[in-house]
Amino acid sequence: MFSAEPHLFDEYHSGFSLQAAQWPTNPVTECIAWLQRHPQLRIVGDFGCGTAAIAASLASADRKVHSFDLVANGNPNITPCDISAVPLKDGSLNVAIFNLSLMGTDWPLFIEEARRCLKASGALYISEVTSRMKDPEGFARGLEAAGFRVVGHKPSKGAFFHTFIAKKEKESGLPMNPVLLGKCHYKKR
d(CA 57, CA 161): 21
Of 8-17, 23-32, 124-133, 161-170, the poorest mean pLDDT is in 8-17
pLDDT in tens, 90-104: 999 999 999 999 988
**Which ranges constitute the DSSP H helices of 69-120?**
107-117
Instruction: Say if residue 50's pLDDT is above 80.
Output: yes
The pLDDT of residue 189: 45
d(CA 17, CA 151): 30
Instruction: Say if residue 2's pLDDT is above 60.
Output: no
Instruction: Say if residue 70's pLDDT is above 60.
Output: yes
pTM above 0.85, yes or no: yes
Instruction: Say if residue 185's pLDDT is above 80.
Output: no
* Burial of 109: CB neighbours in 10 Å, binned 0-12, 13-18, 19+: middle
> Running DSSP on this structure, what letter comes out for residue 39?
T
Amino acid making up residue 66: H
The pLDDT of residue 153: 86
**Which fold, 7-173?**
Rossmann fold (3.40.50)
